[in-house]
Structure 1
Amino acid sequence: MTHESAPQADNPRELLAAVRDLTRRVRVAQRGTWFPLLVFATITLVAIPVYRYAPYLDLFDTCRSRPGHTVCMAPNPTELVYWTVALVLAYAAIAGFYVRQSRRRGVGTPIRPYVVVGVALAVLMAAVSIWLTFHPLIPVPADPFSTDPVEIEVGPTAWLVNGLASPLAVIGLALLVLAWVERHWALLAYSLAYLAIVVIMGNQVIHSTSRWFFLPYLLVPAAVLLLGAAVFALFRPTAEVQA
């Protein structure tokens, strides 16, 4: 950060304009948008082996078995634990990045609200997921082994709650807070588009016998996060604030 004498304002209007310009430049210098997106993309990709190889722990007694076949009506608790821990660690890493950036640039960043909200959303996501296990908003079939197609009508409220209760949607909700912290309109638009994608995907049902059926749920959001990280890194400010 370089230091120069501030230009003398001839009147209050010019002084106000100078203050606004300096505020804008400070906000731009505070931004490190690409890093959170990269961290979230990383933990999403790391989730792939967890989804594929982690053993299913029937902690909520939702599994029903018959010879050669088992159906579980709740997400794997191992996955839920992974996402809760991974998100908390991710916000710790993001907080460390912004603190280091603030010290290097000499410009403080009000990152605490984003980290606090992010961690709170991660814990809330786990609580809501457990609650939905016992109080599903989407009706479950009476016979989990039935192969007959069942028409299930889902209201907009249930559709939205189920979509937003996913860990990938929680990332998008926290990004909205980051957009507010950084006063970043491009990040706001990106976060809304990302949220729309993950909510829609989270409510899609894939009928497959493959143990890799979950890949689209993870690869598409990870690709969107990586693309966003690359774009925001490409257009990140290179010059420090002058004051």
Structure 2
Amino acid sequence: MADDSVSQPISPQELLATMHELTRRVRVAQRGTWFPLLVFATITLLAIPVYRYAPYLDVFGRCRSGPDYTVCPAPNPTELGYWAVALLLAYTVIAAFYIRQSLRRGVGTPIRPYVVVGVVLAVLMTAVSIWLTFHPLLSPPDPFSTDPDIGPAGWLMSGLASPLAVIGLALLVLAWIERHWALLAYTLVFLAVGTVQGNHVIRSSSPWFFLPYLLVPAGMLLLGAAAFAAFRPGTEARA
């Protein structure tokens, strides 16, 4: 008489389905999406006093003045230095968070590509910003026009050579690492908003003219962090 307690062999289809489910659970356990967004929101908000109170240092000699305006196409070295340091510190903190999370959950996260890409992008942002100072997208006196026409390629370059673009492009890498489709969709919207903002001509005499260009992305990052933290799958929230 056959022993009915003997388990039936697992079919290849069942084994494959089990592997897919385990892979999905591991990816969920690896995720910590909310934390990078929170860190980037923090450094964006901390940039407000730097933009407001840091003096403009025309170390590149690019400022031009008119009867009732002064235009400086070169970035403020103080602001550029802030973003370079803040981004590098941010990626260090994020890497430490993921390492700690991996030790606590017992599931490693391949965070190194994300951190490396983020650091490289931060360095490239600084280099491109300085390069554009001496190689403007328009020749004088057009750079000081109130409505410069730099074309689609220049428009894209100008928008992507910004701190917020560095954040967004690195988030694309994080979305790939975590296989996170929601983060991918969020990041594409964030990049689109940042690119449009980066090419908007500012016409204001207020010393707080920059405020919307920091508060809007900071608000998006805070909302994204809250959403990804609130809607984490149960396995991630309990880990």
TM-score, normalised via structure 1 length:
0.89
Cα distance in 2 for partners of 1:48, 1:80 equals 13
1:5-154 alignment, distance < 5 Å = 10-64=10-64, 70-141=70-141, 150-154=146-150
- Per the alignment, residue 228 of structure 2 pairs with 232
- Per the alignment, residue 4 of structure 1 pairs with none
Q: CA deviation at 1:56?
A: 1.3
- Per the alignment, residue 204 of structure 2 pairs with 208
Q: How many percent of aligned residue pairs carry the same amino acid? A: 73
Structure 1 runs of 4+ with >6 Å offset: 66-69
> Where is the helix percentage greater, Structure 1 or Structure 2?
2
Q: Which has the higher contact order (CA 8 A, sep 6+)?
A: 1
Q: CA deviation at 1:12?
A: 1.6
TM-score, normalised via structure 2 length:
0.90
SS in 2 for 1:239: helix
Supply the AA of the counterpart residue of 2:224. Answer: G
C-alpha root-mean-square deviation of aligned residues, in Å?
2.2
When residues 231 and 240 of structure 1 are mapped into structure 2, their CA distance, relative to the original with a 3 A threshold, is closer
- Per the alignment, residue 191 of structure 1 pairs with 187
- Per the alignment, residue 159 of structure 2 pairs with 163
Give the conservation status (yes or no) of the 8 Å contact 2:147–2:201.
no
Q: CA deviation at 1:133?
A: 0.5
When residues 67 and 188 of structure 1 are mapped into structure 2, their CA distance, relative to the original with a 3 A threshold, is closer
Cα distance in 1 for partners of 2:61, 2:16 equals 64
Q: How many equivalent residue pairs?
A: 231
Supply the AA of the counterpart residue of 2:119. Answer: V
When residues 8 and 44 of structure 1 are mapped into structure 2, their CA distance, relative to the original with a 3 A threshold, is farther
Bigger shift: residues 63-72 or 116-125: 63-72
Give the conservation status (yes or no) of the 8 Å contact 1:27–1:182.
yes
Cα distance in 1 for partners of 2:113, 2:8 equals 35
Cα distance in 1 for partners of 2:78, 2:32 equals 32
Cα distance in 2 for partners of 1:154, 1:226 equals 32
**167, 173, 194: which one aligns with 2:169:** 173
Give the conservation status (yes or no) of the 8 Å contact 1:138–1:158.
no
Q: CA deviation at 1:240?
A: 5.6
1:64-104 per-residue CA deviation (whole Å, 9 max, x = no partner) reads 45899754231101100000000000000000000000110
Supply the AA of the counterpart residue of 1:219. Answer: L
Q: CA deviation at 1:143?
A: 9.2
SS in 2 for 1:232: helix
Supply the AA of the counterpart residue of 1:86. Answer: A
Q: CA deviation at 1:208?
A: 0.4
Give the conservation status (yes or no) of the 8 Å contact 1:105–1:240.
no
Cα distance in 2 for partners of 1:164, 1:175 equals 14
When residues 151 and 119 of structure 1 are mapped into structure 2, their CA distance, relative to the original with a 3 A threshold, is closer
Give the conservation status (yes or no) of the 8 Å contact 2:28–2:235.
no
Cα distance in 2 for partners of 1:8, 1:86 equals 58
Supply the AA of the counterpart residue of 1:100. Answer: R
Give the conservation status (yes or no) of the 8 Å contact 1:32–1:236.
no
Q: CA deviation at 1:237?
A: 3.1
Give the conservation status (yes or no) of the 8 Å contact 2:88–2:122.
yes
Q: Provide structure 2 residue ranges, at least 5 long, that are not aligned to the other structure.
A: 1-6
When residues 78 and 151 of structure 1 are mapped into structure 2, their CA distance, relative to the original with a 3 A threshold, is closer
Cα distance in 1 for partners of 2:114, 2:49 equals 28
